[in-house]
Chain A
């Protein structure tokens, strides 16, 4: 194959990569969801000691606060009708967990458990059994 054809093909591929890269942009809602999962995971991690858990959770919470703000301020969300957007804005406390927990003066984990329907009373009333 002639060298010029190789160069043209390479340019085309690079161009496609650049175009694809230009159109692919991090989704703030998805990033926020991932970070919240990481925070919840850190808070529920049975393998870490309380001090380490607290430190990891605090770092994750700070990051989550920024990501929540980025998601809320993103102008694209105004036209976003995907299920993830519908779920996100249906429950502010659950979606913007870091902000809601500070605003309501509640621990992140307490608020999250409450929003997904797990309370002390319900846990205490639960019976162990087989499905």
Chain B
């Protein structure tokens, strides 16, 4: 019985040291602890990515991430966390119902499991942070590139020229029917091969264009119901990534509090076991000096 208790005490002391270390680390970025083992994701802000339709850009980045070792590591961590979280409830119930030395062991095991859970969550946060920071850097590079060179998929002509072209198209469209009527007014006039073929193919082209416009992969992204261009969309993605980072900071704070609670629980358990072992050792009670007064005042 004493041996079990000593073992338990040593284990709790070790756990206490570990939990305090985790508690201290909880306030710091946890990246340093796993820096050497971190898997990687290195997307490139390529010309191909810049030229992708705006609705497809984020999907292409997601696909690139899914193929990386970082995504695999995140998935492994998620599975491990799920397994640990599933056992926590049962261990807590076992610790609550156990009695005597078994209770200490169960509480100790529960504390170890909580510590493992916090460690796994910390590791996952590091991987998530790495993913979000990489994504943020990629979007920033793409945005800078588009701002520097212009959107290859968007209209590049200056506004004045674009306006003149639009006016020309409008005038042409408005006058085309009357021009054709005057042109083919005489019986001998024949439509050119271009005119015939164009008319024949125009309907098919219009159908194809409608299908392209309606295709979900070609849908222009919207914010608050308003269609936006590629630079605006990339700026939106940058803001989203920064939001994710801020939320991760908050999650890290929660994690550090959880680690501190584990440390406090471990200290409480160590104190409890220590106090109990003192009680059972039968040490003499330190009595008040007044209780010994009778020994001195009575005649010998």
Contacts and interface: CB of A to CB of B under 8 A. Distances in A.
Interface stretch (B155-163, B234-242, B291-299): B155-163
B175 interface: yes
Interface string A32-73: 000000000000000000000000000000110110011011
A52 B165 CA distance: 36
Given A65-B183, A66-B195, A96 B172 contact: yes
A103 B164 contact: no
Given A78-B157, A79-B155, A89 B165 contact: yes
Contacts of A85: 157, 161
B161 A103 contact: no
B167 A92 contact: yes
Nearest to B153: A79
Contact of A69 (B164, B178, B194): B194
Contact of B172 (A72, A90, A105): A72
A81 interface: yes
A89 B172 contact: no
Given A89-B165, A89-B168, A96-B172, A80 B194 contact: no
Given A62-B192, A80-B157, A81-B157, A99 B172 contact: yes
A119 interface: no
10 closest Cβ pairs, A-B complex: A89-B164, A66-B194, A103-B175, A79-B156, A102-B179, A89-B165, A92-B168, A66-B192, A102-B182, A81-B157
Contact of B168 (A62, A66, A86, A96): A96
B171 interface: yes
A70 B179 contact: no
B164 A90 contact: yes
Contacts of A96: 168, 172
A20 B192 CA distance: 31
A103 B179 contact: yes
Interface size class of A (residues with CB under 8 A): 20 to 34
Interface size class of B (residues with CB under 8 A): 20 to 34
Nearest to B160: A86
B79 interface: no
Given A63-B192, A65-B179, A80-B157, 11 more contacts: A69-B194, A70-B194, A72-B169, A81-B157, A85-B157, A89-B161, A89-B165, A95-B168, A102-B178, A102-B182, A103-B179
Interface in A65-120: 65-66, 69-70, 72-73, 77-81, 85-86, 89-90, 92, 95-96, 99, 102-103, 105
A81 B165 CA distance: 11
Contacts of B198: 69, 73
29 contacts: A62-B192, A65-B179, A65-B183, A66-B194, A66-B195, A69-B195, A69-B198, A70-B194, A72-B168, A72-B169, A72-B172, A78-B155, A78-B162, A78-B165, A79-B155, A80-B157, A81-B156, A81-B158, A85-B157, A85-B161, A89-B161, A89-B168, A90-B164, A92-B167, A92-B171, A95-B168, A96-B168, A99-B172, A102-B178
A66 B171 CA distance: 16
B202 to A, nearest CB: 9
A89 to B, nearest CB: 4
